[in-house]
Amino acid sequence: MEVPTIRPATPSDVPALSALATRTWADAFGDGLTRADEAAELEHSRSETYFAAALHEHTILVAETDGELLGYVQFGDFAIPEVDARPGDQELQRLYVDTALQGQGLGQRMLEVALEQLLLAGAKRVFLQVWEQNERAVRLYERFGFRRVGTTTFAVGDEVMEDLVMLLDTARRE
């Protein structure tokens, strides 16, 4: 695989970004949901409409080779309800790699680049949510110094789900 370029997403990326997000999320989580719940989630937070708006509210980086999107990482303001936010806290909201490319180091490289971005590099604490059964992702985050600090619940359609909450305390790394 050619070394991917990691760059900020642009409005012209929205259709491919939505397609990638839909495919990777459905590959990871679609089997455990009803068709209605999956469709609602994909429309709510993986659609072109969602990403067109998200580009104005969050930072989204994409990994690409030869014009093909291979992964994306999204981060921005902190919004995990079970954790009290402090000034300077940020949240790594999403990190997805095309299913066929997982385990080849692209997720690690994207996380490195994201953590070097001013918004996250300047944060006092960086939080994220991750499905506890996604052991590969949990191990990746732990290698970067994230530690488990609790859980959060969220709804996907009628289903109530639970994720781990992980924290990278940047003050402790200095």
Would you please indicate which residues are annotated as catalytic (active-site) residues? 141
Q: Give the separation between CA 76 and CA 47, rounded to whole angstroms.
A: 19
Beta bridge partners of 59: 75
Where helices occur in 30-164 by DSSP H, the ranges are 35-45, 48-57, 106-116, 118-121, 135-143
Cβ(114)–Cβ(61) below 8 Å: yes
Cβ(140)–Cβ(105) below 8 Å: no
